[in-house]
Amino acid sequence: MPYLGSEETVKELKRALSNPNVQSDRLRYRNVILRVIRFMTQGLDMSPLFMEMVKAGASVDIVQKKLVYLYMCTYAKLKPDLTLLAINTLRKDCADPNPMVRGLALRNMCNLRMPGITEYIQQPVLTGLRDKASYVRRVAVLGCAKMRNLQPDAEIDGTVVNELYGLLRDPDPVVMVNCLRALEEILKAEGGVVINKPIAHHLLNRLKDLDAWGQSETLGFLLRYRPRDDTELFDILNLLDGHLQGGDSAVTAATLRLFLQLASGHPTVQADALVRARGPLLATCTASSRELRFTGLCHVQRVLRSLPAQFSPDYKKFFCSYSEPGYIKFRKMEILVELVNDDNVVLVLEELQAYCTDVSPELAQAAIFAVGRIGRTYSERGLAILTGLLGLRQEHITSAVVQTFRDLVWLCPQSTACVCQAIAGCEEIIQDSDGKQALIWLLGMHGDQISGAPYILEDYIDSLKTELSTLVKLELLTAMTRLFLSRPAETQDMLGRLLHFCIEEETDMCVRDRALFYHRLLRCGVEETRQVLGGPKSDPSLGLIAGRPEEPINNWAAHFNTLEPVSSSGSVVAGIGCDGAALPTLGGSDGTTHSAANCTLAVQEASEDLCSGLPEEATSFNLTLGPALTPEAFEKLWLELETFQTVSLPCSEPSSQPETLQAALQLVQIQALAFSRPGSVPWKAYLYAHGSETIILAELLCGPGSDEDRLLVTVKQEPRDEKVQRGFLSVLETVLQTLVSDAT
């Protein structure tokens, strides 16, 4: 935060610090130092004051010392030569009779992260390890780790390691835990501190002397230990049992993790531990700290994967409070869906129903999806609630309900009749594209049972010009063609209009190709069309809650009490926030996979023309698709390789959909890995291809920094082969030009 006058401030502080009048007045001196620290925290550069601050450190006032040390540790890197001046004071303090001063000096000396400091700190650290005061020993032990990390290339000092192993028997519990931590860092390259049988048993016996932090950390180190036989295993588990139900959530979680890993060969023991940890886990889910509550909920979700019945009696604990933040509510709803059973389904649904009318649209939609998920098992009850919600005639509610209906119809065919009755009139309310897609899919798939289906779809056809979403248009094409098969008389005319519009006037490549595809398909004959578009109308084998297999505990035990359950969930929450469709995992997929498959089909056909247009010379050498590269591998290779050539191709960014582009590139054996969204600036794409035993990586860039209608291509190749690379570029150019000319 550099603001005007910061130089002035530094000068003024410098004057004040070197003013003998200030120096003689203890309080004034300290106040000036406090100001320096305050500016430092705000991000101002206070390093010019280093000299004055070092002088201020040679004081008997311990508060002042601490402030100066804080300053020095921050700027030591920038002023290594001046820091050396302070070393003498620090070393003198390391021999002070007061253990607090000794510890303070030693700790801060080790915190000076600058090159060459190790030679000065080695001796004080080694002396500190044998200090009488445990406070100094604690600092010295961690000092060994700091020293090691300052010179990571040096040999590991065997005597220090041995001394640290010896200090595991130190009477002070914090020294013991610090030894574990330091050894872990020093021996990182060798896999960390060794936990053999005597050490493990020693740690287990000392556990009760430690505070909660030490306990949870030591339990973490014990994860590494493998008991020899079952007798030893059960002895250990018995010893740990008390910690499982202790008051501290961190200790409970660490103990539970250890239980689950030690007993990985005994599923019943694991299940038993989970049952006993139920109370403490539930307590964290209702803790007064929201953050802790969230963490608890994320871990309960893991447990539910294996023991869905475990928390069913406590379902009321997962009801949302009115004042809770959204991220907790989303999580609770997900849990409610998981633990529903015959006994509590009525009350859970009633509760979820109340959330469906929440002020926040995201939350309301998530609640509706949750009702839908439960409706897959308890379809009558779910349907009753969902149809009731349609009566509210609210845009976001109706949209979510129709999306849920689509999933329900697909998964539970028995609900079809009811859904078909209910969706009449929804078309006036739904405005968003997700909802429209779902409605159109339902009308196309089950149009034979909905009397007004053709006329609703006709309205959509009439307003096609103003429709922006490609996916809605695609869905409409599929639905219309499908409906034509079951109700030809009513729909013939409008299908004709739709296809005509999409082929003649539509600018979107994907839509046009799809229209062309259906057009050709219909020309082949009705039976052929039926074969392609028919298919089953539902798939009840998917998504039943009741029949879901329980996941083995060992699948997630390794990640229990780590950041993984908490952070992966973060993205889910964000997902709900964005599109409101993250709850039903099957949600978008069943409808869209069909359309995606169809899309590729249509696109392939459309790009046959492309293929024929390719110059002979370009295809004469062989590009091949396989073996596939993962994005990670691609990224690694991309960073390793040098740029072979950068050329600028005379064509603009392809305006077509990613699917089209991908299919077109695949046709010429180039694999596309990632695309920017169409229209974004800068637009980028990453491609790769194999050919003549080399691999070619390419990045397409269009946007700021390059001309509007030129595409910057960066090519990297391993091993280099001029000929293949030239061929690759010419193929790429042809494809891109064809796509661009086709689209315009």
Partner 1 sequence: MISQVFILSSKGDHLIYKDFRGEATTDAINVFYQMVTALPGDQPPVVMTREGLHFIHIRQGGLYCVATTTTNASPFTIIEFLNRLAALIKDYCGSLSEKSVRMNFALIYEMLDEMLDYGYIQTTSTDILKNFIQTEAVSSKPFSLFDLSNVGLFGAETQQSRVTPSASASRPIMSSRGDQGGKNEIFVDVVERLTVVIGANGVLMKVDIQGEIKVKCYLPTCSEMRIGLNEEFSVGKSQQRGYGAAVRVDECNFHQAVRLDEFDSYRILKICPSQGEQTVMQYQLCDDLPSAPPFQLFPTVERDKSDRLLIYLKLRCDLPPKSAAINVSVTVPIPKGSLSMSQELSSPDQRAELQPSSKAVHWEISRFPGGAQLSALFKLEVPGLSAASLLEVGPVSMSFELPKHTCTGLQIRFLRLTPVQPNPSPRWVRYVTHSDSYTIRI
Binder among 82, 223, 384, 566 for partner 1 (CB under 8 A): 566
Binder among 151, 451, 567, 585 for partner 1 (CB under 8 A): 567
Binder among 11, 38, 226, 500 for partner 1 (CB under 8 A): 38
If one asks whether residue 381 binds partner 1 (CB under 8 A), the answer comes out as: no
Between CA 605 and CA 514 the distance in angstroms is 9
Give the distance from CA 102 to its chain's centroid: 45
Of 37-45, 430-438, 528-536, 697-705, the window that binds partner 1 (rule: CB under 8 A) is 37-45
Q: How many CB atoms lie within 10 A of CB 156?
A: 12
If one asks whether residue 577 binds partner 1 (CB under 8 A), the answer comes out as: yes
Binder among 284, 306, 481, 652 for partner 1 (CB under 8 A): 284
Nearest CB to partner 1, comparing residues 268 and 321: 321
Nearest CB to partner 1, comparing residues 182 and 603: 182
Q: How many CB atoms lie within 10 A of CB 119?
A: 8
* Residue ranges in 627-680 assigned as alpha helix (H): 631-640, 658-667
Nearest CB to partner 1, comparing residues 131 and 513: 131
If one asks whether residue 624 binds partner 1 (CB under 8 A), the answer comes out as: no
Between CA 676 and CA 660 the distance in angstroms is 14
Of 8-16, 160-168, 558-566, 690-698, the window that binds partner 1 (rule: CB under 8 A) is 558-566
Stretch 223-282 residues interacting with partner 1 (CB under 8 A): 246-250, 252-254, 279-280
Between CA 699 and CA 425 the distance in angstroms is 49
If one asks whether residue 506 binds partner 1 (CB under 8 A), the answer comes out as: no
- From the CB of 316, what's the least distance to partner 1, in Å? 6
Between CA 445 and CA 100 the distance in angstroms is 78
If one asks whether residue 37 binds partner 1 (CB under 8 A), the answer comes out as: yes
- From the CB of 710, what's the least distance to partner 1, in Å? 32
Binder among 393, 500, 520, 548 for partner 1 (CB under 8 A): 393
Residue 718 backbone dihedrals phi, psi, to 5 degrees: -145, 120
Nearest CB to partner 1, comparing residues 234 and 319: 319
Stretch 344-363 residues interacting with partner 1 (CB under 8 A): 347, 350-351, 354, 357, 359
If one asks whether residue 433 binds partner 1 (CB under 8 A), the answer comes out as: no
If one asks whether residue 416 binds partner 1 (CB under 8 A), the answer comes out as: no
Of 117-125, 557-565, 658-666, 674-682, the window that binds partner 1 (rule: CB under 8 A) is 557-565
Binder among 316, 520, 636, 723 for partner 1 (CB under 8 A): 316
If one asks whether residue 154 binds partner 1 (CB under 8 A), the answer comes out as: no
If one asks whether residue 655 binds partner 1 (CB under 8 A), the answer comes out as: no
Q: How many CB atoms lie within 10 A of CB 221?
A: 20
Between CA 383 and CA 401 the distance in angstroms is 10
- Cβ atoms of 689 and 670 closer than 8 Å: yes
If one asks whether residue 574 binds partner 1 (CB under 8 A), the answer comes out as: yes
By rule CB under 8 A, what string of x and - marks binding of each residue 319-348 to partner 1? x-xxxxxxx-------------------x-
Grouping H, G, I as helix, E, B as strand and the rest as coil, residue 122 is: helix
Between CA 153 and CA 291 the distance in angstroms is 40
The single residue listed with the structure tokens 């209009």 is: 497
- From the CB of 4, what's the least distance to partner 1, in Å? 18
If one asks whether residue 213 binds partner 1 (CB under 8 A), the answer comes out as: yes
Binder among 5, 191, 198, 391 for partner 1 (CB under 8 A): 391
Of 120-128, 387-395, 625-633, 670-678, the window that binds partner 1 (rule: CB under 8 A) is 387-395
If one asks whether residue 291 binds partner 1 (CB under 8 A), the answer comes out as: yes
* Residues in binding contact with partner 1, number by CB under 8 A: 84
If one asks whether residue 569 binds partner 1 (CB under 8 A), the answer comes out as: yes
Q: Is the dihedral of CA 93, 95, 98, 103 positive or negative?
A: positive
Nearest CB to partner 1, comparing residues 100 and 597: 100
- Cβ atoms of 564 and 301 closer than 8 Å: no
What DSSP letter does each residue of 206-274 carry, written as one string? HGGGS-HHHHHHHHHHHTT---SSHHHHHHHHHHHHHHHTSS-HHHHHHHHHHHHHHTTT-HHHHHHHH
Between CA 728 and CA 700 the distance in angstroms is 13
Binder among 1, 189, 468, 489 for partner 1 (CB under 8 A): 1
- From the CB of 219, what's the least distance to partner 1, in Å? 9
Q: Three-state secondary structure along 386-434?
A: HHHHHCCCCHHHHHHHHHHHHHHHHHCHHHHHHHHHHCCCHHHCCCCHH
If one asks whether residue 639 binds partner 1 (CB under 8 A), the answer comes out as: no
The single residue listed with the structure tokens 């018995």 is: 238
Residues 6+ apart with CB under 8 A from 119: none
By rule CB under 8 A, what string of x and - marks binding of each residue 86-125 to partner 1? --------------x------x---x-x------------
- Cβ atoms of 694 and 718 closer than 8 Å: yes
Provide the residue type at 122 as one letter: Q
Residues 6+ apart with CB under 8 A from 11: none
Of 118-126, 151-159, 313-321, 590-598, the window that binds partner 1 (rule: CB under 8 A) is 313-321
- From the CB of 437, what's the least distance to partner 1, in Å? 23
Stretch 69-88 residues interacting with partner 1 (CB under 8 A): 70, 74
- From the CB of 186, what's the least distance to partner 1, in Å? 12
Nearest CB to partner 1, comparing residues 120 and 319: 319
Of 186-194, 389-397, 548-556, 598-606, the window that binds partner 1 (rule: CB under 8 A) is 389-397
Q: Which residues of 717-733 are buried (b: 16+ CB within 10 A; e: fewer)?
A: beeebeebbebbbbbbb
Tokens of 288: 């007064």
- Cβ atoms of 724 and 661 closer than 8 Å: no
If one asks whether residue 383 binds partner 1 (CB under 8 A), the answer comes out as: no
Grouping H, G, I as helix, E, B as strand and the rest as coil, residue 714 is: strand
- For 569-662, where are the E strands, in sequence order? 623-624, 645-649
Between CA 366 and CA 373 the distance in angstroms is 10
